[in-house]
Amino acid sequence: MLRFILNRLLLFIPTLLLVSVIAFVLSLSTPGDPVDRLLQSAEKGEAGGGNITRMNRDLEAKKLREKLGLNLPVFYLSIQTQADIDTLHKLSSTLHRPALKRMARETGNPHLVMKWYGHTLEASNSFDFALTDSSKSIILSNYKDQVTAAQSLFSGILLAGSKENQKIKIDSLNNLLSLIPDIRNVKSLWEISLNEYSNSYQNAATWKKYIPKLYFHGLKNQYHRWLLGKEGITKGVIKGDFGVSYRDGQKISERIGKAMKWTLLLSLFSIIIAFSFSIPLGLFAGSKANGKFDKISSLVVFALYALPGFFVASLLLVVFANPDFLDWFPSSGVKDPELFNSDWSFSEEFNTICLTLFCH
Please tell me the predicted confidence (pLDDT) of residue 285.
Answer: 78
Please tell me the predicted confidence (pLDDT) of residue 51.
Answer: 46
- Whether the pTM exceeds 0.75: the reply is no
**pLDDT confidence band for 171 (50 / 70 / 90):** very high
Q: Decide if pLDDT at 92 tops 90.
A: no
Mark which of 185, 212, 227 sits at the end of a domain: 227
Mean pLDDT, rounded, of the chain: 82
Residue 214 parent element (H or E): strand 212-216
In this structure, is residue 244 part of a structural domain?
A: no
Angle (CA) 128-132-136 rounded to 5° is: 100
In this structure, is residue 3 part of a structural domain?
A: no
Please tell me the predicted confidence (pLDDT) of residue 360.
Answer: 61
**pLDDT confidence band for 344 (50 / 70 / 90):** low
In this structure, is residue 112 part of a structural domain?
A: yes
Of residues 119 and 231, the one with the higher pLDDT is 119
Q: Decide if pLDDT at 300 tops 90.
A: no
Residue-wise pLDDT tens digits, 173-224: 999 888 888 788 889 999 999 999 999 999 999 999 999 999 898 889 999 9
In this structure, is residue 27 part of a structural domain?
A: no
- Same-domain status, 278 and 350: yes
**pLDDT confidence band for 255 (50 / 70 / 90):** confident
Mark which of 227, 244, 270 sits at the end of a domain: 227
- Span 287-295, average pLDDT: 79
Please tell me the predicted confidence (pLDDT) of residue 111.
Answer: 94
- Same-domain status, 286 and 221: no
Of residues 32 and 216, the one with the higher pLDDT is 216
- Span 4-33, average pLDDT: 85
Strand residue runs (E) in 37-194: 77-81
- Same-domain status, 76 and 165: yes
Please tell me the predicted confidence (pLDDT) of residue 73.
Answer: 92
Please tell me the predicted confidence (pLDDT) of residue 153.
Answer: 93
Burial of 209 (0-12, 13-18, 19+ CB in 10 A): middle
- Same-domain status, 273 and 207: no
- Span 59-73, average pLDDT: 85
In this structure, is residue 12 part of a structural domain?
A: no
- Same-domain status, 124 and 187: yes
- Same-domain status, 79 and 210: yes
Give the distance from CA 113 to its chain's centroid: 28
Mark which of 193, 227, 261 sits at the end of a domain: 227
Please tell me the predicted confidence (pLDDT) of residue 188.
Answer: 92
Please tell me the predicted confidence (pLDDT) of residue 47.
Answer: 42
Q: Which residues of 10-39 are buried (b: 16+ CB within 10 A; e: fewer)?
A: eeeeeeeeeeeeeebeeeeeeeebbbbbbb
- Span 127-156, average pLDDT: 81
Residue 219 pairs in a beta bridge with none
Q: Decide if pLDDT at 349 tops 70.
A: no
Angle (CA) 35-91-190 rounded to 5° is: 120
CB 179 within 8 A of CB 147: no
- Same-domain status, 118 and 257: no
For 99-122, the DSSP string reads: HHHHHHHHHS-HHHHHHHHHHHHH
Neighbours of 165 (CB within 10 A): 14
- Same-domain status, 76 and 163: yes
Range of the domain at 116: 33-227
- Mean pLDDT is lowest, of 203-207, 234-238, 304-308, for 304-308
- Same-domain status, 157 and 289: no
CB 355 within 8 A of CB 317: yes
- Same-domain status, 181 and 214: yes
- Span 229-241, average pLDDT: 84
Pairwise CA distance, residues 311 & 319, whole Å: 12
Query: How many Cα atoms sit within 13 Å of 188 on the Cβ side?
Result: 5
- Same-domain status, 113 and 205: yes
Please tell me the predicted confidence (pLDDT) of residue 261.
Answer: 76
In this structure, is residue 239 part of a structural domain?
A: no
Cβ-based neighbours of 100, under 8 Å, separated by 6 or more: 85, 88, 91, 113, 114, 117
**Domain count of the fold of the chain:** 2
In this structure, is residue 155 part of a structural domain?
A: yes
In this structure, is residue 22 part of a structural domain?
A: no
- Same-domain status, 85 and 171: yes
Q: Decide if pLDDT at 239 tops 50.
A: yes
